[in-house]
Chain A
Amino acid sequence: MKYGVVVFPGANCDHDAYHVAKHVLGESVVYLWHKDHDLQEVDVVILPGGFSYGDYLRSGAIARFSPIMNEVIDFANNGGYVLGICNGFQVLTEADLLPGALIPNTSTKFECKTVTLRVENRETPYSGEYEQGDLLRMPIAHGEGRYYANQETLDLLENDGRVIFRYVDAEGKPTMEANPNGSLNNVAGICNEDRKVLGMMPHPERACESVVGMTDGLALFKSLVNQQVATV
Chain B
Amino acid sequence: MKALVTVHYKQGILDPQGKAVQNALKSLGVDGVSEARVGRHIVLQFPEMSKSDAEAQTKKACEKILANPVIEDYEYEMVENTA
Interface residues of A (CB under 8 A from B): 57-58, 61-62, 65, 93-94, 99-101, 103-108, 148-150, 182
Main SS class of interface, A = loop
Instruction: Say if the beta carbon of B65 comes within 8 Å of chain A.
Output: yes
Q: Which residues of B contact A62 (CB under 8 A)?
A: 65
Given the known interface contacts A57-B65, A61-B65, the answer about A101 and B17 at a Cβ–Cβ threshold of 8 Å is: no
Instruction: Say if the beta carbon of B25 comes within 8 Å of chain A.
Output: no
Name A101's contact: one of B14, B65, B71 (CB within 8 Å): B71
Q: Which residues of A contact B68 (CB under 8 A)?
A: 58, 61, 94, 101
Instruction: Say if the beta carbon of B70 comes within 8 Å of chain A.
Output: yes
Q: Which residues of B contact A150 (CB under 8 A)?
A: 70
Q: Of A62, A65, A103, A106, which is in contact with the most chain B CB atoms at under 10 Å from its CB?
A: A103
Q: Which residues of A contact B66 (CB under 8 A)?
A: 57
CB-nearest residue of chain A to B71: A101
Q: Which residues of B contact A182 (CB under 8 A)?
A: 14, 16
Further pairs besides A61-B65, A104-B17, A107-B16: 13, Cβ < 8 Å:
A57-B40, A57-B65, A61-B68, A93-B70, A94-B68, A101-B68, A103-B9, A108-B16, A148-B70, A148-B71, A149-B70, A150-B70, A182-B14
10 tightest Cβ-Cβ pairs between the two chains A and B: A101-B70, A101-B71, A108-B16, A106-B16, A108-B20, A101-B68, A104-B16, A103-B71, A58-B68, A148-B71
Per the bound structure, the CA–CA distance linking A104 and B14 in Å amounts to 9
Give 21 CB contacts A-B under 8 Å. Answer: A57-B40, A57-B65, A57-B66, A58-B68, A61-B65, A62-B65, A65-B65, A94-B68, A99-B70, A100-B70, A101-B68, A101-B70, A101-B71, A104-B17, A106-B14, A108-B16, A108-B17, A148-B70, A148-B71, A149-B70, A150-B70
For the complex, count residues of B whose C-beta is within 8 A of A.
Answer: 12
Q: Which residues of B contact A104 (CB under 8 A)?
A: 16-17
CB-nearest residue of chain B to A65: B65
Name B13's contact: one of A93, A99, A103 (CB within 8 Å): A103
Q: Which residues of A contact B40 (CB under 8 A)?
A: 57
